[in-house]
Amino acid sequence: MPDLMNVNTSESKSTFLSSRVHALELTPLGVKLLDQTALPGAVQYVDIHTTREMAHAIETMLVRGAPAIGIAGAYGVVLSARDHFVSELSEEELREAIRTDLKRLAQTRPTAVNLFWALHAMEQELDAPLDTAADLVDRLTRKAVQIHEEDIESCQRIGDYGATIIPAGAGILTHCNAGALATGGYGTALGVVRSAFARDPQVHVYADETRPRLQGARLTTWELVEDGIPVTLVTDNMSGALMRAGKVDVVVVGADRITANGDTANKIGTYNLALIAHAHGVPFYVAAPLSTIDMAMQTGEEIPIEEREPSEISTVNGELICSPGASFYNPAFDVTPARYITGIITERGIARPDYVESLAGLFRT
Ligand code: MRU
């Protein structure tokens, strides 16, 4: 069964970056996205007006990170409803037009289950009986905002549960970016870091740079420096040396999809990290909301892994870094088998092995 210890969720979070900077925001005119491809060089926003633009923003990773992609998908459905809400369309035609846009959003990125979870929730709203077509726009908007707000709450609870497993003055290693930028706000793995830091300013984060797109270097260091949380950047191939030197007390990462047995897809390189942590006896935790847990999949073998453009690995800042004659393999995610995971930190508590039992238990509470 999950650890359901009492946690203090009322700790002050208002001083953190996530209360000032938002990865996504629904506005009367569209959705304002913080352009994550421009960070840390520039803090700039892009206004998204249509579902097509939202799908493109997800594909090109202006918005990224599993929970944030889910929220972006839900807001994309709202944009569709606003766009198609014209008096000439019958109620059924309006629903059909939104369904077509919803399918386009579902084609953007395959691995993070939060996208499909959020689109499914929006589809249920779409299918429910209505008084008027205007009700549909209102209802979809309310649902999307609810998904966003609940994600922030979940992250704060994950942070507070997670802080309980961080030793005093710990060195915490993380991979990729599972922060405020990757969620509705506050973050999952970085939510744990934030809550731990609020209790103990002696904690120290090691951030893997996270090739090929450098989310650790570009985004995680940016978030932590903005919050005054001590962070040291390391390249992905340094984690073994770092653990051997005794600098890492715990690894905490996010997740894109967790299957019913606890196998976890996360950014490519997470699996290597889990193996190295296992070899050194360092606890390895995954932090994720229930919306990342896919109980319909039994094992990690079933998870679709996104493969991205070869140019992400063949170039750095637009410069070719290898022979053009090489071939390329660029999976964006890998799967860490459940046996290497010490615990899965969720908004309902910390699941421990055996995950088949403990994850199912989380959905019953
Ligand atoms: O390709 P990205 O940047 O979307 O990948 C992000 C990750 O792998 C994160 O660790 C994961 O989505 C969890 S975010 C809370």
Ligand 1 midpoint to CA 256 (Å):
6
Residues 341 and 205 in one domain: yes
Domain final residue, candidates 154, 177, 198: 154
- pLDDT reported for residue 131: 76
Structure tokens at 215: 């989310």
What CA–CA distance (Å, rounded) separates 258 from 287?
Answer: 10
Cis peptide, bond prior to residue 208, ω within 30 of zero = no
The mean pLDDT value for 205-228 works out to: 98
Ligand 1 midpoint to CA 245 (Å):
28
Ligand 1 midpoint to CA 306 (Å):
12
Diameter of the chain measured on Cα atoms: 68
Measured from CB, residues less than 6 Å from any atom of ligand 1 are 64-67, 112, 176, 178, 182-183, 188, 215, 254-256, 266-267, 332
Which residue CA neighbors atom 6 of ligand 1 most closely?
Answer: 65
Which CATH number goes with the domain that contains 22? 1.20.120.420
Residue with tokens 């039992």: 357
5: in domain: no
Which CATH number goes with the domain that contains 184? 3.40.50.10470
What CA–CA distance (Å, rounded) separates 55 from 59?
Answer: 6
What CA–CA distance (Å, rounded) separates 271 from 256?
Answer: 13
75: in domain: yes
Catalytic residue among 101, 208, 249, 256: 256
Domains of the chain: total: 2
Which residue CA neighbors atom 10 of ligand 1 most closely?
Answer: 254
CB 67 within 8 A of CB 113: no
- pLDDT reported for residue 88: 80
Provide the terminal-to-terminal Cα distance of the chain, rounded to the nearest Å. Answer: 10
Ligand 1 midpoint to CA 254 (Å):
7
Residues 93 and 195 in one domain: no
Residues 171 and 140 in one domain: no
- Closest atom of ligand 1 to 109 CA is 4
Ligand 1 midpoint to CA 178 (Å):
6
Domain final residue, candidates 130, 154, 178: 154
- Closest atom of ligand 1 to 267 CA is 8
Residues 206 and 334 in one domain: yes
The mean pLDDT value for 292-306 works out to: 98
95: in domain: yes
Residues 210 and 142 in one domain: no
Residues 144 and 172 in one domain: no
What CA–CA distance (Å, rounded) separates 172 from 285?
Answer: 10
Structural element, H or E, at residue 239: helix 239-244
104: in domain: yes
Active site residue 101: no
Residues 136 and 174 in one domain: no
Q: Give the list of residues 6+ apart from residue 159 with CB closer than 8 angstroms, or none.
A: 13, 186, 187, 191, 192, 194, 195, 196
Residues 48 and 118 in one domain: yes
Cis peptide, bond prior to residue 353, ω within 30 of zero = no
The mean pLDDT value for 306-322 works out to: 96
CB 60 within 8 A of CB 211: no
Domain final residue, candidates 90, 123, 154: 154
Residues 235 and 316 in one domain: yes
- Closest atom of ligand 1 to 66 CA is 12
User: Which of 36, 62, 176 most suits a substitution to test ligand 1, by most atoms within 8 Å of the C-beta?
Assistant: 176
Residues 77 and 40 in one domain: yes
The mean pLDDT value for 140-161 works out to: 98
- Closest atom of ligand 1 to 306 CA is 1
160: in domain: no
pLDDT above 50 for 282: yes
> 46: domain range?
11-154
Residues 149 and 171 in one domain: no
6: in domain: no
162: in domain: no
What CA–CA distance (Å, rounded) separates 238 from 313?
Answer: 19
For 345-354, the pLDDT digits (tens) are 999 999 999 9
161: in domain: no
What CA–CA distance (Å, rounded) separates 210 from 217?
Answer: 7
Ligand 1 midpoint to CA 325 (Å):
30
Q: What is the DSSP string of 31-70?
A: EEEE-TTTTTT---EEEE-SHHHHHHHHHTTSS-SHHHHH
- Closest atom of ligand 1 to 288 CA is 15
For 245-263, the pLDDT digits (tens) are 999 999 999 999 999 999 9
CA angle (145, 162, 9) in 5-degree steps: 55
- pLDDT reported for residue 91: 87
CB 98 within 8 A of CB 133: no
Say what percent of the chain tops pLDDT 90: 89
Regarding pTM above 0.85, the answer is yes
What CA–CA distance (Å, rounded) separates 9 from 21?
Answer: 21
Backbone angles phi, psi at 360, to 5 degrees: -60, -40
User: Which of 267, 285, 330, 344 most suits a substitution to test ligand 1, by most atoms within 8 Å of the C-beta?
Assistant: 267
Strand order in the sheet with 349-351: 231-234, 204-208, 171-174, 250-253, 284-287, 343-346, 349-351
Residues 45 and 183 in one domain: no
SS3 label, residue 270 = helix
